[in-house]
Amino acid sequence: MVKAHFPRGLTHWIMMMIWLVLLSLFCKSTQEENSQEHGYLNCGPQNVTLLHSGQMILLWEDQPSCSAVRDVLIYELVVFRAGQQVNYDEVAVTPDQIESTHYRIWTSFLDLEGASNSVRLRSRYNNHTSPWKEQTFPGKQTLKVPEIFPKDKWFMVGSTVTFYCILPSTEAFSTMYLNTGEQPSTTKINNQTYALTVYLNRASKNTCDHVKCETKTNNNNGACVYIGYPPHYRDLQCETRDLKSVECQWTVRGDTDLPFKEPKAPQLLGSPCLMLSKGRCSQKVEKVDVGERNWTLTAQNEFGMVELSDTADLSKRVHMFAPNGVKVSTVNARSVTLQWNLAKPQYNNLNITCQVRMSFGEISIIGIGLNSTVLNDLIPNWTYNATLRCGSTQHFWKWSEWSKKVFFRTYGEVPDALDVWMHMEGNHTKIIWKMPQAKQSHGHIEHYEVTWRKTTENHNQNSTKVAFNKQSLSLSLTRTKEYIVTVTARNINGSSPPSTITIPSLNPAGHRVKTSRIIGSNGGFNFSWSASPAASCGYIVDWCPTSGNHTEDWLKLPPNETYAKVFSRNFTDGRRYSLSLYACTQGAPLLLERREGYVTEKSIKEGLFKSMKGKQQDSNFEVSWDLISLAEQTAFIQGYVLYCSDNNNSVISFSTDDPAATSLKARNLKMGFYKFTMKAQTAVGECGATFITAILNSPTDNLIGAVLIPLLTIFGLLSLTIMLCFRHWACIKQKVFPPIPKPMLTSMGEHGCHLLHVDQCHHSEVHIMDVLELQCSEETPTNGYVCKENILFVFANTPKGYYNQPQKKYPPEPLTTTTTELPSLKGLPSSPFGSVFSNPTYNLNIKPGDQLSSSFPELQERKSLQRSMDGYQPQDLTETFNINPTEEDPGKPMSCVFTYVLLPQSLSK
Amino acid sequence: MAARRTRRITGPDVSRSTVARAARIAELLQYECSILLELYREKESFTADILVDGRLVSVPPPSSQLDTRDKLWRLHSALLQCRSLLDRAIAREEEELGGGKKGDYETQRKVVKDRLSYLLISTGELLKTAGGPALLTPNLEGLEIDGPTTLFELKLWVHRIFKEVDYWTKMAITTLEALPSVIAKESMMTTRVRSTRSARR
C-alpha cells in the first residue's frame, strides 16, 4: 500500500488557499447583495401631486432607483387633517408597474372646504423604508379646467403609459385622447377621474405630442408628452493620438435620438468625456501603456441611457497626427530630399512607417522617429506635389491624416531617346518619330537632327535639322541600298541619346506577305501573332488607313509579347485599316504579317454601284458596274446579290460570292418589265442598294424590230426620194427627157459657132453619152445649181464613169455629133434615157402646148440658129420653141435654159 | 427754352409716402402672419376648439376722439408689445420645444418677426412726423411676457401671440389707410391758414 505524504508546509498552504477562496466567494456574494440593497434603498416616491376636484387625488411616481426592485414595492400613505392622522393606506406596486405614475383617491372622509389636508407617503421594501414625503392641500382650491397627468414627461418609444384626466367637480367627461393616431378607450375611475392607457409606438415629430381631455361643456385642456429614444450610439472604439489621452468615437444612428434634446455629455469610465465632435470625445489618462482594459462609455438623454464598451490596449492603438512642416531640401533632376516634423514629441521614440504620395504614385518608408527621405526616379523638369502620412510600425493601427501638400519642380535634363519608325512609299522614305511628351522632353525641344548613311559606308554621312514642331522627314534614298538613319532631339540641356533605324533595301525578289483580315473589337484591334525567331529585339506593329491619307502610327513591343491591343483616337468606324507586323532585327525591320480590317464595319450607303447598266441576252439579263473603290467600302464585301422584281412584285435573286465581280447575270427571266436591285453582301447585312429598270423583249420581237426598222428606213428614204423627184420632176425630166428640137439644119453664120446651152449643173451626173459639145450661152444661178459662166465643161467618158472637168481657154471647136447609137444603152427600150437616145430620128413633133416644151420657157431667148444640113430638113427651119416669158414662175427653184442644136458633121451652103 | 420745374418734397409728401409704405408692409405682414398661423396649427395638430382667444396686448381703447398722433402712438405701442411677445414666444419655443429639425414653420416665424420690425420702423417714423415721441419703449406691464409653465399651455400661449400679431397687423392696415386723408386735410388746412396770413400781411 502506498501512501502519499505531503510536506507539512504544503498542507498548510493548501488549506490557506481554500479558506481564501471561500472567503472571497463570501465577500463577493455580500458585495452583490449590498449593491442591490444600495439600489433599492434609494427607491422612493417623486413628483408627488395632490389635487382637489370634489375628491382628493394623490399622484406620484417612482424614483429611477426603484427599477432595482425585484418584488412588490409598498407605498405607505397617511392622511392628516388639521394635523391629526385620519387615514392610513398602502398601495402595492408590482415590478411591471414601477416607473409609471401611481395614484390614490379619497372621497369619503375629507373636509375639503374646511381645514387643510396633507398626505405623507413613503416606500417600503424588504424592511427598508424611504423618507416620508409630504404634500399639503390648501383648502378651498378647486380645479377650473381638466388636469392631465403625467404632463411634460419623456417616454421611450415602445412603452405603455397611463394618462389621467381629473375633471373639475362641476364638469362631465367627454373624451380623452393622444394625438398620435389610434386611440384605445378611456377607463372611468370615478366621476371625476378618467384614465387613458396608450402604447407609444412612434416617436414625436418636431414637437411634443398632446394628451387632450375634453368635457361636455367644451372646457378642454391638454398635456405635452415627448416620445422618443435613448441615445442610439454603437460601435465604440477607443485609441490614443498623443499617447497622453484616450480618444473614443462611436457612431450615432440617424435621427432616432431626436426629438428635441441632445444627449447630455457622455461619461467615459464614469468621468466626463470632453466632446470633440459629434460621436467623438477625449479624456486624459495617466499612462497609455497599461495593457488591455475595458473602456466604457455611458450617454443618456431624457428618454434613457445607453452604455457602450470597447476592450483595447492603447499602446497598440496609436493613431498619429499628420506630420507637419513638410519641405523639400535638395532638388536634382531625378531626385529630391523631403523633410518633415512629427506632430508630437512623444512620437520620436516610436518606430514609424510613413507613406509619401506624389503625383505619380506612392512610396512607403520606415524608420524610428522618421523625419526625412529621398525621393528617387523622378521625371526631370517636372512639377510634383507630395504629401505624407505616418503610423506606428509596431502594432500598426491607423494611418495619420495626410499632411499638407508640398510642391516642387525637378531640374531639366537631355530629352529621352525618340521613338523612331519609317514609312516607305515609292522611292521616298519617310522617317517618322513620336513627338516627345512633356515627361520625355525634359525641357523645350529646340530641334531634331536626322543623319543617314548607307550601311556599307561608315563615313559618308548626311545630316539635316528638323524644326521642333515637325515629326517626320522625307528622304530620297537609293532603294537598292540599305541605310542607317539616326534621329536625336535637342533641348537646352543637350541632345537625346540617338535613335537608329535601318531602312531596308528594295529587293524585287524579296519575300511578300499575304494580307489577311482582322476583326475590330471595342474600338480597336486585338492583334496577336505567332512568335518569330527573327524578332530578336521585339516587334513593331504599325497601322494606317488602307486608302486615303496616311497618318501612320506604330507600337513597339518586346520579343516575348505576341499580342497587341491596337487603339487610336483617330480610328473611325467604317474605315478600313491596314496593320503591319514587323520583326525588330539587328538590321532592317522585317515585315512578317499584314492585316486589314475595320474597327467596326458600317452598312454601305445606297447607290454603291456606280454606272450600273444592264444588257439583255435572250431571256437573261446581265447587270454590270464599275469596280467599287475602297473608300466606298465601309465593310468587307463578301459578294453581291441581284434582286429582280417584276410588275407582280415577285422577286427572284441571283448572287455571287466573288467580291471582285463587276457583273452578275439574272437568268431565265420572263419577258416584261423588271426592276433590278443590286446589293453588296457584308457582315452587317446587304447594303449599298442600287437599282435599274428594264423591259425584256422576246427574240421574235427583236427580229421584227430588226427587219422592220431597216424596212421603214428604206421606205422613208424612198418616199423622200420620190417626193424630191416629184418636186423636181421638171428638172429631172429636162435632164432625162431633154426636148428634142426639130431637126434644123442651118449653116454656120458669121457669128460663128455658138455653142448651145447644156445643163451645166455639174453636181448631177447625167449619163450623156456622146453628147455634142455645148456652149453655155447664158447661165442663171438657181437653187442648188451652179451654172458657171464661160466655163466649158467637157463630159468625158472615164473608166469609172463620168465626171465633169472644167476646161478653159480651149478654142471652140466644131461640134461633132458622133453616132447616136450607144452600145451601152442597147436593150433599154423602156428607159427614159434609152428613149432619149433611141430616138435620133427627130421625128418628134413638139407643139407649144406640149408639156415638155412648156418646161423650158427660156428657150424663146435663144438666138435663132441657122442649121445647114444638106438634103435633110426634118423640121421647119423657122420653128422655134417660144414660150411666153410671163408664164415663168420667178420663184421656181431651178431654171435652166437649154438650147439644143444638132450640128451636122458638115455644113455647106 | 422751357425749363423743367423741380418740386421739393415737403413734409406732408414724406408722410404720405411713409404711410403708403407702412400700409404696404402691414399688408405683407398680415399675409405672412396668416401663413404662420396655418403652419403652426398644422404642426401642432391644433383644432379651433382648444384655442383660446383674448388680448395679450394692452393699449388704451380706440376712440374717435384720438387725433392722428394718438392713433399712431396707440398702434405703434401695440406693435411694440407684439414684437416683445413674439421675441419671447420664439425664445421659449426654442428653449423648451425646439431642438428638432428646422422647417417651413421656423422660416416663416422669422419672416414674420423681421417684417414686424420693418413695420415698427415705419410706424415709428410716422409717429415722429406726427409729433410723437422720438423713441418709444414698449410697456410690458401686465403683459404675460413669461408665459405659462406647462408645455401645452406654452403652445397655446404661442398661438395666442401669433393671433395677437395678426390682429394688430389688421389694425395697422385699417389705421394707416385712414391716415393719409387726415394728413392731407390737416396739410390743406395748414396751407390755407398760411395763405390767409400772408394775404393779410
Cell reading at A108: 369619503
Nearest to A151 among B43, B97, B150 (CB): B150
Are A260 and B98 an interchain contact pair (Cβ–Cβ within 8 Å)? yes
Does the beta carbon of B149 lie under 8 angstroms from any beta carbon of chain A? no
Would you say the C-alpha torsion A713, A716, A720, A721 has a positive or negative sign? positive
Element (H, E) at A31: helix A8-41
Does the beta carbon of B53 lie under 8 angstroms from any beta carbon of chain A? no
CA distance to partner chain B, nearest, from residue A219 (Å): 9
For residues B163 and A836, which has the higher predicted lDDT (pLDDT)? B163
Angle between helices B104-129 and B11-44 (to 10 degrees): 160
Give the Cα separation of B32 and B162 in Å (integer).
11
Angle in degrees, CA B156, B165, B92, rounded to 5? 45
| DSSP summary character for residue A632 | G
Are B152 and A210 an interchain contact pair (Cβ–Cβ within 8 Å)? yes
- Cross-sheet strand order for the sheet of A274-277: A233-239, A245-252, A280-284, A274-277
Are B45 and A179 an interchain contact pair (Cβ–Cβ within 8 Å)? yes
Give the model's pLDDT for residue A510.
Answer: 58
DSSP sequence for B108-124? HHHHHHHHHHHHHHHHH
Give the chain A residue nearest B104 (alpha carbons): A206
Nearest to A838 by CA among A737, A731, A758: A737
Task: Please give the radius of gyration of chain A, using alpha carbons only, rounded to the nearest integer.
Answer: 67
The correct CATH number of B2-47+66-182 out of 1.20.1250.10, 3.40.50.300, 3.30.1330.50, 3.40.1190.20 is 1.20.1250.10
Give the chain B residue nearest A208 (alpha carbons): B97
Q: What is the mean pLDDT of residues B175-184?
A: 68
- Chain B neighbors of A222, CB-CB under 8 A: 50, 152
| 3-class DSSP assignment, residue A684 | coil
Give the Cα separation of A835 and A321 in Å (integer).
143
% of chain B with per-residue pLDDT over 70: 69
Nearest to B150 among A205, A224, A260 (CB): A224
Cβ neighbors of A512 (< 8 A, separation 6 or more) are: none
Give the Cα separation of A479 and A463 in Å (integer).
19
Give the Cα separation of A196 and A146 in Å (integer).
14
CB pairs under 8 A between A and B: 50
Give the chain A residue nearest B155 (alpha carbons): A224
Give the Cα separation of A40 and A47 in Å (integer).
18
Nearest to B43 among A151, A206, A259 (CB): A206
Does the beta carbon of B103 lie under 8 angstroms from any beta carbon of chain A? yes
Are B151 and A152 an interchain contact pair (Cβ–Cβ within 8 Å)? yes
Nearest to B99 among A212, A223, A261 (CB): A261
Give the model's pLDDT for residue A127.
Answer: 80
Q: Is the pLDDT of residue B176 over 70?
A: yes
Q: Is the pLDDT of residue B102 over 50?
A: yes
CA distance to partner chain B, nearest, from residue A380 (Å): 56
Q: Mean pLDDT in runs of 10 for chain A (909 residues)?
A: 46 65 55 51 81 74 82 87 79 84 71 65 86 74 79 86 85 87 79 86 83 87 88 91 94 63 80 90 90 92 88 94 93 93 90 87 70 90 91 92 94 94 84 92 94 88 93 88 94 95 77 86 93 93 85 90 91 92 92 93 91 87 90 92 89 91 90 91 93 84 74 91 85 76 53 43 42 40 39 38 40 39 39 39 40 40 40 40 40 40 38
Neighbours of A584 (CB within 10 A): 21
B/e letters for A23-54, b = 16+ CB within 10 Å, e = fewer, are eeeeeeeeeeeeeeeebbbebbbeebbbbbbb
| 3-class DSSP assignment, residue A18 | helix
Give the model's pLDDT for residue A577.
Answer: 94
CA distance to partner chain A, nearest, from residue B105 (Å): 11
Nearest to A680 by CA among A617, A610, A616: A610
**Residues A681, A655 contacting (CB under 8 angstroms):** yes
- How far is C-alpha A83 from the chain's CA centre? 97
CA distance to partner chain B, nearest, from residue A311 (Å): 34
Are B50 and A151 an interchain contact pair (Cβ–Cβ within 8 Å)? no
Provide the residue count of chain A.
909
Give the model's pLDDT for residue B48.
Answer: 65
Nearest to B97 among A207, A218, A222 (CB): A207
Are A206 and B100 an interchain contact pair (Cβ–Cβ within 8 Å)? yes
Give the model's pLDDT for residue A21.
Answer: 62
End-to-end CA distance of chain A: 214
Nearest to B151 among A220, A224, A255 (CB): A224
Give the Cα separation of A836 and A854 in Å (integer).
18
pTM > 0.80: yes or no: no
CA distance to partner chain A, nearest, from residue B153 (Å): 8
Cell reading at A224: 405635452
Does the beta carbon of B45 lie under 8 angstroms from any beta carbon of chain A? yes
Give the model's pLDDT for residue A312.
Answer: 93
Cell reading at A688: 449599298
Give the model's pLDDT for residue A834.
Answer: 36
Domain boundaries, chain B: 2-47+66-182
CA distance to partner chain A, nearest, from residue B112 (Å): 20
**Residues A374, A297 contacting (CB under 8 angstroms):** no
ipTM: 0.74
Q: Which residues of A touch B (CB under 8 A)?
A: 151-152, 179, 205-208, 210, 212, 214, 218, 220-224, 255, 258-262
Suggest the residue from A206, A213, A216, A229 to mutate for an interface test with chain B (most B CBs closer than 10 A).
A206
Neighbours of A448 (CB within 10 A): 28
Cβ neighbors of A50 (< 8 A, separation 6 or more) are: A56, A57, A58, A59, A117, A119, A135, A136, A137
Give the model's pLDDT for residue A313.
Answer: 94
